Amino acid sequence: MATSKAKAEIGRKAPNFSLEGSGGEQVKLSDYIGKKVIVYFYPKDATTACTQEACDFRDAYEALAGHGAVVLGISPDPIKSHQRFIEKQELPFLLLSDPEHKVCELYGVWQLKKLYGREYMGIVRSTFLIDEKGKLIAEWRNLKVKGHVQKVLETLQG
């Protein structure tokens, strides 16, 4: 359930949210005040590009954590799907379930997409970097997976 109507905008406080996490707990963005937070939105567990992106975050996890950052992945998939995905790919971070797309809409990533001439609503792959005070400091929208996590790490390094 989303807890804020503010839209995501660089330089402003990131919209707070509360979603069910892959461990069965409610996860609030505000729980992470004092840490940098990387929130990445992806379309679907266990698809090719989404698996690559998750594994890239997994492989860079220690370096990201070394800069005081936590990683949260968000998709509409149910918790059971997230749990299988985490187990199979050995992901060291939480995945959050947003089946009603409320948080996706807050961050402006739930959009009309086109594939093979068909139009549908879906997640536009995007990542947001939030500072220790909860302010949105960087965003990558409609991104390509290859090299993306390295760009996030470079931004964290300053």
Enzyme catalytic residues? 50
Cα 149 to Cα 6, 30, 108, 126, distances in angstroms:
26, 23, 20, 11
